[in-house]
Structure 1
């Protein structure tokens, strides 16, 4: 069976069932496991599906975001390691932007004692920064309750006043083709502006973010470096050709 014919059959299962196993494809298409694996790699590269252990699943576009409380509970150990590595990059005299998010929040305790200036749109962040005696500015605007961040036209205008040695950002999804994505249009706009203002930009993301695509694009992969606990081999290989990935 030709590659094009196998693709039609593979996508039929993906669209109908949402997932398919490598074993099933080997049996149904009467071909080798190595051939099916290569087919799935090619289909993932062009954004048709996401490979998982033992097969593949439908490529999903996520439109909803977890609450901040939920985010704090997810992959906490990984976030601690990522945050500590990110904070180690910051030196006395630096001006940095901390995007509102659970992993950037974890950075703050590791910044204590450094002579730095921080700008943030995170409501929880500003209280933690005050507690750790770090000079800080908070952007103005309205508060998005579910994630505890400040957004809107005022925050977008505020941030334009600054330039940053480092911008430490969050993203809900990281995909080689779709780039860094999130679920909220206004968050994406503010994040993109912060990225443009940073001399060095790092997306802080645990391995669960790789291969996911959310509703709104923030930036291309080449626009920011990544700090992660584990860069999934099948996804990160192509990403590493476009940007730097620091693993902790």
Structure 2
């Protein structure tokens, strides 16, 4: 099979399934693993797809944003490990901001029993926080469809009334040049304010968020501590080395 034919099959499978594993591509093309990995690298460089640990996925547009349900179903093991480590950074007596996102949501079960106060703009976080017997404050405001995040004037006015020891935030894209980005300017503004009002800002990001850029920047990488997984070192080693030079980055071993 010619390279162009094999790569066309790979693109079609990614478009049909959104996420495809390397083993599936090997079976579909009858090519070796090394050949498929080389194809994926070439296709990613040509902006035809995005490589992830063990496979490939569709590229997203600058404004495209997965729903909470879609986010929660992807890389769940990786997100749970990152969230567990993030919760370990929360100390007794802390006042923290907890962003609306699938990885920050996973922190809540690990915060149970801690004497802390949490401010959140995540609608889905509220019930879980209350059930964990954690003192909880909600920003309020307009509820955004898909991500169930409070945004808008009400949220902006609310967050100005708080100050945080730590702010835990999600991101849709992270690069050295563009920093941390998210598709929605309104959510980006809330994240920016949370960073402004916090002594320390911690961005939780699985390995698929790196080397992506979305519509609205909310922080340069120098302004945040990035918490991710060992998949970043395995899949994006060059970027990882660049990040180490520019910011504090911590890797959770999987």
Runs of 5+ consecutive residues of structure 1 not aligned to the other structure: 1-16, 18-51
Aligned-residue CA RMSD in angstroms?
1.8
Matches within 5 A, 1:4-153: 53-54=41-42, 56-58=45-47, 62-153=62-153
Per-residue CA distance 1:156-185 (angstroms, 9 max, x = gap): 111011111110000100011011001001
Task: Tell me the equivalent position of 1:237.
Answer: 241
CA distance in 1 between counterparts of 2:170 and 2:85 reads: 15
CA distance in 2 between counterparts of 1:104 and 1:62 reads: 22
Deviation at 1:58, TM superposition (A): 3.1
Task: Tell me the equivalent position of 2:163.
Answer: 163
The number of equivalent residue pairs is 199
CA distance in 2 between counterparts of 1:69 and 1:88 reads: 25
Deviation at 1:53, TM superposition (A): 2.9
Runs of 5+ consecutive residues of structure 2 not aligned to the other structure: 1-7, 9-39, 49-58
| TM-score (normalizing by structure 2) | 0.75
CA distance in 2 between counterparts of 1:194 and 1:166 reads: 9
| TM-score (normalizing by structure 1) | 0.77
Larger radius of gyration: 1
- SS of aligned partner of 2:66: coil
Deviation at 1:63, TM superposition (A): 1.5
